Amino acid sequence: MDMRLFSHINWPLIACITLLFLIGLLNLYSASGTRLEDGIIVSSFYQKQIVWGVCGLGCMLVTLTFDYRRLKNFAWIFYWIVLALLILVALIGKNVYGATRWISLGGISFQPSELAKIAVLILTARLLSHDGQPLGWKRFFGLLVIGFLPCVFILQQPDLGTSMMLLLILGGMIVFHGMRAVVFRSCLVAIPCCGALLWFVGMHDYQRQRILSFLNPGLDPRGTGYHILQSRIAIGSGQLWGKGFTEGTQSQLRFLPERHSDFALAVFGEEWGFVGCVTLVSLFCLFLLAIFSSAIQAKDRFGSMLVVGIFFYFFWEILINLSMVIGLMPVVGIPLPFISYGGSATLVNFTLLGIVLNVSMRRFMFKG
């Protein structure tokens, strides 16, 4: 590997990644709760996230060692491997809280659905990089099949949030690339129809109830509306400056559910208040801007579309989680990157950012 490549690395992006991960660790330390055992502080989620972070850093470094253009050669192979893993989940998957989303190997569990996001992203980038012409019906439907095929298996787990994320990433990449006017207008008509079909056919009862609770959490304050109500209470009680690190009553007294994962932001908001939340959102904006700048500066269409897909991956996760926690969207189980706990998500996040850095490092090394 040519060491001169590191002179072109995206240092602002690395700074954002580092700050976000450290903030996430501190937040997990507080959200997990601590106890003393023989004078030693124990905090399981915090410790596990450090391990996953180190592994994720290793994945990111590995992705820097090769030319990203080689991913084109493995796009289809990786896609079919991930589909096989999704089928394997249905056969031997680990059931947790009524959902079968994990495969356990040697005591380590991982979600193939997280890999599906990467597989669809890389394959879509390859197909869209062939030319810059707006998509007609044939290519558009081909991309839809690529996205919908893994979604069929993911919905069976059931995991509506990941399926929705996968399609949003695909949609963002298609819109950025461009479509013919007739295709775009048809999509505007078809999307509401697909939403209605999903409501009556594709959703489980508990998923419909989550949406109804989002519209009116007071309908079931101790059931499906409990998450949103407690999250609002936690964030609101933080007021301007917050209650202080590890001083949040909603999280420390266990009123706030899923405080280490989906609702990690509520813990942060209670402890650091409005000022802390604005600072965190601003850091996420800088993070997204650093990714998008790499997409604009990329010297070939494949690299540009890869980074665009990664931009939409993080954009939608951040937007959906923030909206979900403050009650602007239903609870769909989308984690907040680097702030929420999650082994598979952490590995995927670092791997994708390694690809962004890879594209950025090579932007002056060739023309295309």
Give a three-class secondary structure readout of 45-57.
Answer: HHHHHHHHHHHHH
The CA-CA-CA angle for residues 324, 329, 335, to 5°, reads 35
Q: What single-letter amino acid sits at 148?
A: F
pLDDT of residue 366: 47
pLDDT of residue 214: 61
pLDDT of residue 224: 59
The pTM score is 0.87
DSSP at 260: T
pLDDT mean for each 10 residues of the chain (368 residues) = 66 93 89 51 71 92 89 93 90 74 73 87 92 85 92 83 89 91 85 75 68 62 67 80 78 69 83 91 95 90 93 94 83 84 86 92 62
pLDDT of residue 106: 66
Give the residue from 321, 350, 294 showing the smallest Cα distance to 235: 321
| CB atoms near residue 271 (< 10 Å) | 26
Rounded CA gap, 365 and 69, in Å? 13
pLDDT of residue 184: 85
CA-CA-CA-CA torsion sign (358, 364, 366, 368): positive
pLDDT of residue 307: 94
- Cβ pair 311, 142 in contact under 8 A: no
Q: What is the largest CA-CA distance in the chain?
A: 69
